[in-house]
Amino acid sequence: MIKHIDTTRLKWLLTFFVCTIICFIPYSENFTSQIKLFFIITIFAVFMLAFELISVLAVSLFIPFAYLVFNLGTPAQIFSPWTQSTAWMIMASVILGVILDESGIIKRIAYFFFAKLGGSFNAILACIMFFGIILAYMSPGNGALFIIFAYSISKALNIAPKSNAAIALFFICYIAGAALSVMLSYDGMFDTALNTIRNSAASGFAPLQTFTFEVSYLDYIYHNVIFLPCAILLLIITILFFKPEIEYTNKFNKKYFAEEYKQLGKLEKKEISGAIVLFLIFILLLTQRWHGLGIYLCLMVPVIISFFPFSGLETEKIIKNINFTMIFFVCGTMSVGVVGNNTGSAALIGQFLTPLLGSGPFMNCGMAYILGYIINLILTPMAGIAMISGPVAEVISSAGIYPVPVMYALINGLNNVLLPYEGALYVFLYAFGYMSMKQFIKIFTIRSVIVFIWILIVAVPYWNLIGLFNGFVPFPF
């Protein structure tokens, strides 16, 4: 008990010490009083989250109200995350997880699937990764669905939170559902980067006008297929670093799952309702590029339908089990990006790092990755790519280098994180409680380092080989 108290005090002292150091940094034309206050409040909150000094809900409330008290933005700006689609996507996903758990359909699907698979935990992780690769090309951006699947499987198999099995399952589901969409397939972040670069070129920046930026879906796949082996490497590293406990290893066998599946008996009405909800979401996500509905609507519409009496689900029980803390966590931490952009804090970081660009492919891609990784500490990935892609492209093109491969490195940097507050999906994953903060930092830091090294020793040589640093290279077939 004494040791725990001493450790907690040390964490508080370190938190205040770091914030005090920032207090003594002198003001300048670039480092204004608003930027100083932003960094003090944000770093204080980050340390409280990283050290788990107070509850997640308390930190979620502290961040926006501290910004408001110190006049770092208007209420409309600071609380704007509540009006964005991300908040409702997270809310729909949280409710959906409870619905699927209550219906029992995921347990039935899991038992049937694993009984046929072969009984290996590692084989199950490999199948999840393979399915994620297929979906990344067919319908990217299914992170929430995969994480819900991990949660449902963990509940069905009674996998203990913070166990190696839980960490491996949630992490691989995140990689399969979300990370692969960025690494392998044309997504919204890259589209935002291209639009920003085109605007810079249209505004009269001559070096950018010498290049073409009409990158198609197939072009993107051709440029980034080199990340496919990296996904397999992440799977192998996860298996090696997070070997499942023996009690879960023993559970993953054909006989066990076949027996459990048999005991479930016939399909119940609530299981059918759960299956319909899951199928409807899957179809809406797969056909999103045609019907144009946002992901939050693809999730929310079936969720709302499931509350009607004909579903057979116990709606009162579902409502009681919803983790509303997570909604506050998402919106509270997303205000970091809003205020960071308003105060100019993110732009200040960019000013320090962009001069290091323009020194060759390896330095450009390495620094772009690091820039994205750091910017993501105070901005969401989408806000980061919108703010920094233009200046980076201008510096790179001024050196006569085609900026698109550097954008690939920048996007990967923005999609690798240290802490869960850096993106809504990371918050979503963390809030289920199956990873501690320490475990989250460990596995996502491992991922960040692997992707960084992969870009330098594999991706950059590949882009150089196909001539992408010299100009646009189309899909060859």
Query: So where are the chain's domains?
Result: 1-72, 82-477
Find, among 54, 74, 51, the residue nearest to 64 by Cα.
74
Alpha-carbon 130 to chain mean position: 19
* Vertex 476 angle, CA 474 and 477, to 5°: 125
What's CA 56's distance to the chain center, in Å? 18
Block mean pLDDT (10 aa), the chain, length 477: 66 93 89 91 85 85 94 90 77 79 76 71 85 76 79 81 93 92 82 81 81 84 94 95 76 72 83 83 72 78 85 78 78 77 72 70 92 80 76 85 94 90 79 88 95 97 95 86
Which pair of tokens denotes residue 294?
A: 């946002």
CA geometry: angle at 270 spanning 301 and 153, to 5°? 85
Q: How far apart are CA 115 and CA 110, in angstroms?
A: 8
Task: Give the C-alpha separation, 4 to 53, whole Å.
Answer: 12
Alpha-carbon distance values, 339 to 88, 91, 382 (Å) = 21, 23, 14
To the nearest 10 degrees (0 to 180), the angle between helices 325-343 and 85-103 is 160
pLDDT tens for 105-157 read 777 876 777 777 656 788 888 888 988 888 787 656 677 778 888 887 788 77
3-state secondary structure the chain: CHHHHHHHHHHHHHHHHHHHHHHCCCCCCCCCHHHHHHHHHHHHHHHHHHCCCCCHHHHHHHHHHHHHHCCCCCHHHHCHHHHCHHHHHHHHHHHHHHHHHHHCHHHHHHHHHHHHHCCCHHHHHHHHHHHHHHHHHHCCCCHHHHHHHHHHHHHHCCCCCCCHHHHHHHHHHHHHHHHHHHHHCCCHHHHHHHHHHHHHHHCCCHHHHCCCCCCCHHHHHHHHHHHHHHHHHHHHHHHHHCCCCHHHHHHCCHHHHHHHHHHCCCCCHHHHHHHHHHHHHHHHHHCHHHHCCCHHHHHHHHHHHCCCHHHCCCHHHHHHCCCCHHHHHHHHHHHHHHHHHHHCHHHHHHHHHHHHCCCCHHHHHHHHHHHHHHHCCCCCHHHHHHHHHHHHHHHHHHCCCCCHHHHHHHHHHHCCCCCHHHCHHHHHHHHCCCCCHHHHHHHHHHHHHHHHHHHHHHHHHHHHHCCCCCCCCCCCC
Specify the pLDDT at position 468.
Answer: 94
Name the pTM for this structure. 0.72
**Residue 1: what pLDDT?**
42
CA atoms of 82 and 89, how far apart (whole Å):
11
d(CA 356, CA 467): 23
CB within 8 Å of 319: residues ≥ 6 apart: none
Report in angstroms the alpha-carbon separations of 131 from 128, 138, 142, 172, 236. 5, 11, 11, 11, 16
Phi-psi region of 204 (alpha: psi -120 to 50; beta: other; left: phi over 0): left
Helix axes 121-138, 105-117, angle to 10 degrees: 110
Q: Quick one: pLDDT at residue 163?
A: 92
With tokens 């072009």, the residue in question is: 219
- Cα–Cα distance between 100 and 147 in angstroms, integer? 12
Alpha-carbon distances of 149 from 22, 105, 173, 251, rounded to whole Å: 42, 11, 8, 18
CB–CB of 172/235 below 8 Å?
yes
Q: Radius of gyration of the chain from Cα atoms?
A: 23
- Residue 246's Cβ-side half-sphere holds a number of Cα atoms within 13 Å equal to 0
CA 350: distance to chain centroid? 22
